[in-house]
């Protein structure tokens, strides 16, 4: 039997209608590839920098025995301070030998953000010849020698909670401190499937297709909102009033519309639950702007602290943030034009809820606020390549604004 095609492999990764975990499905496929001598087990060094070890714990949630299988049957894990049998100098020697002898061949997996303040002294991760080595130094030394550099979890990818304001340690994502290409597998933590699926793809087919944030599209290609089981309630204007209530959680802070990940399909804790199913809004933990840009967690989207307004915009991702916010506005606009929002949201859905015109005024204010933020985002994102697309969004937003203001002057409601 030949190794399965990349297309079929991606289908497996994206499929959820199965009783086996993704790792359980992948291990035999990888085993087959090994048997055919099409691939060899990659030596892997897993560094933990500024983090809570949540991604390693999440990997353990690839319900056993699959973690053991992953470590023994798929990769050759040479160093991981949590899973090492040896500790101290003996373990460090194995790691340094791997870097020296397997240059261009080993994979560097990084968990946790890189502390950059004071030359990285807030995070020292091992000793070499009696001298403490910082995470910053290790990453900058090892990354150019690795075949692949993979960041797991939001901290390693984008700074994450470790980089939250006021960030005294200068925490940054790995791709901000190395020139080498970094594959980002975000999440707080990353789902075990996102990690094992990415590893298996690298092993058998090389680099997976990535988006502008270097995230594998097979796991991060769609928004939570696109996949959400409560989407129909969003469309119908049935909104939860508090976490735990039934209905779409948008008005209690759900960041699903601007967060790319497949949580609604994949689910967590061995495929039993995920935030919205448990009645709590998505707080955007897989977003490049988590957590600062996703706060306040329980305020709904038009009030979102869109990060590009305040942040130092360095990557094309900023433009994607614009598109994300624009997508919400566009969706809102589509609802207005389709009369759905007029019918359900503006009129209120339950006895006691505000009805037009009070609610209409609130929606107008929210839309104006969104347009104002969109414009601020656009002015920050002008340098980047997606700007043409955002201009198209801008003109659409202007049309929406005109629409509202015309209605405002006339005193009529949309029909
Ligand atoms: Fe689901 Fe949140 Fe979108 Fe509502 S806003 S449909 S709860 S993802
Ligand atoms: Fe995180 Fe939202 Fe998924 S909070 S776990 S990205 S549903």
Among the listed residues 56, 126, 122, the one whose alpha carbon sits nearest the alpha carbon of residue 96: 126
Contact present, 375 and 368 (Cβ < 8 Å): no
Beta bridge partners of 185: 152
How much distance in Å is there from the Cα of 238 to the middle of ligand 1? 11
Nearest alpha carbon, ligand 2 atom 2: 282
Q: What pLDDT was estimated at residue 309?
A: 33
Ligand nearest to the CA of 284: 2
**Residue range(s) of every CATH 3.40.50.700 domain in the chain:** 6-220
Pick among 4.10.480.10, 3.30.450.60, 3.40.50.300, 3.40.1390.10: CATH of 224-404:
4.10.480.10
Pick among 3.40.50.620, 3.40.30.10, 3.10.105.10, 3.40.50.700: CATH of 6-220:
3.40.50.700
Q: What pLDDT was estimated at residue 24?
A: 74
Closest ligand 2 atom number to CA of residue 274: 7
Decide: 249 in ligand 1 pocket, CB within 6 A. yes
Closest ligand 2 atom number to CA of residue 283: 4
Closest ligand 1 atom number to CA of residue 256: 8
**Residue range(s) of every CATH 4.10.480.10 domain in the chain:** 224-404
Decide: 231 in ligand 1 pocket, CB within 6 A. yes
Q: What pLDDT was estimated at residue 365?
A: 64
Contact present, 63 and 27 (Cβ < 8 Å): no
Closest ligand 1 atom number to CA of residue 239: 4
Listed in sequence order, the residues at least 6 apart from 360 whose beta carbon sits closer than 8 Å to its beta carbon are 346, 413
Which of 227, 257, 263, 265 maximizes ligand 1 atoms within 8 Å of its Cβ, making it the mutation to test the pocket? 257
Ligand nearest to the CA of 264: 2
* Tens of pLDDT, residue by residue, the chain (415 residues): 567 888 888 888 887 655 667 777 777 787 777 777 778 899 999 999 998 999 988 888 766 556 777 777 889 999 998 888 888 999 999 999 999 999 999 999 999 999 999 999 999 999 999 999 999 999 999 999 999 999 999 999 999 999 999 999 999 999 999 999 999 999 999 999 899 899 999 999 999 999 999 999 999 999 999 999 999 999 999 999 999 999 999 989 999 999 999 999 989 988 889 999 999 999 999 999 999 988 889 887 654 333 333 333 233 334 334 444 444 554 554 444 443 443 334 434 444 444 444 555 665 666 666 666 555 555 554 444 454 555 666 666 666 555 544 433 333 333 3
- The residues lining ligand 2, judged by C-beta closer than 6 Å to any ligand atom, are 224, 259, 261, 263, 274-275, 282-286
Q: What pLDDT was estimated at residue 26?
A: 79
According to DSSP, the β-strands at 107-111 and 43-48 are parallel
How much distance in Å is there from the Cα of 283 to the middle of ligand 2? 6
Question: What's the pTM value of the predicted model, to 2 decimals?
Answer: 0.74
Contact present, 59 and 193 (Cβ < 8 Å): no
């Amino acid at each position: 039997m030949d190794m399965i095609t990349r297309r079929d492999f991606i289908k497996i990764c994206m499929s959820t209608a199965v009783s086996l975990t993704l790792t359980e499905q992948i291990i035999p496929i990888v085993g087959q590839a090994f048997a055919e001598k099409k691939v060899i087990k990659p030596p892997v060094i897993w560094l933990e920098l500024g983090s809570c070890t949540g991604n390693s714990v999440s990997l353990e949630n690839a319900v056993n025995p699959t973690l053991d299988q992953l470590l023994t049957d798929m990769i050759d894990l040479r160093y991981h301070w949590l899973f090492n049998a040896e500790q101290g100098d003996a373990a460090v020697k194995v790691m340094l030998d791997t870097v020296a002898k397997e240059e261009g061949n080993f994979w560097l997996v990084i968990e946790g953000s890189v502390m950059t303040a004071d030359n990285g002294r807030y995070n020292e991760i091992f000793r070499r010849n009696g001298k403490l080595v910082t995470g910053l130094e290790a990453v900058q030394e090892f990354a150019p020698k690795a075949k692949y550099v993979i960041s797991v979890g939001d901290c390693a990818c984008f700074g994450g909670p470790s980089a939250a304001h006021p960030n005294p340690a200068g925490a940054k994502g790995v791709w901000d401190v190395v020139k080498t290409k970094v594959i980002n597998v975000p999440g707080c933590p990353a789902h075990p499937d996102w990690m094992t699926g990415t590893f298996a793809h690298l092993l058998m087919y090389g680099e997976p297709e990535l988006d502008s944030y270097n995230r594998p599209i097979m796991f991060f290609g769609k928004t939570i909102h696109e996949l959400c089981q409560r989407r129909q309630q969003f469309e119908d204007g049935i909104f939860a009033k508090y976490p735990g209530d039934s209905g779409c959680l948008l008005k209690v802070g759900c960041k699903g519309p601007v967060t790319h990940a497949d949580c609604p399909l994949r689910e967590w804790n061995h495929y039993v639950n995920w935030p919205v199913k448990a009645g709590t809004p998505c707080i955007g933990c897989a977003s490049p702007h988590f957590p600062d840009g996703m706060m306040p967690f329980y305020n709904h989207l038009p009030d979102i602290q869109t990060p590009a307004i305040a942040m130092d915009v360095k990557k094309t991702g900023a433009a994607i943030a614009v598109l994300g916010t624009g997508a919400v506005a566009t969706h809102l606009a589509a609802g207005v034009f389709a009369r759905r929002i007029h019918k359900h949201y503006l009129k209120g859905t339950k006895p006691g809820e505000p009805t037009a015109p009070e609610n209409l005024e609130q929606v107008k204010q929210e839309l104006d606020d969104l347009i104002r933020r969109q414009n601020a985002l656009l002015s920050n994102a002008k340098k980047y390549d997606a700007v043409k697309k955002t201009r198209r969004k801008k003109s659409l937003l202007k049309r929406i604004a005109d629409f509202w203001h015309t209605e405002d002057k006339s005193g009529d409601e949309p029909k």
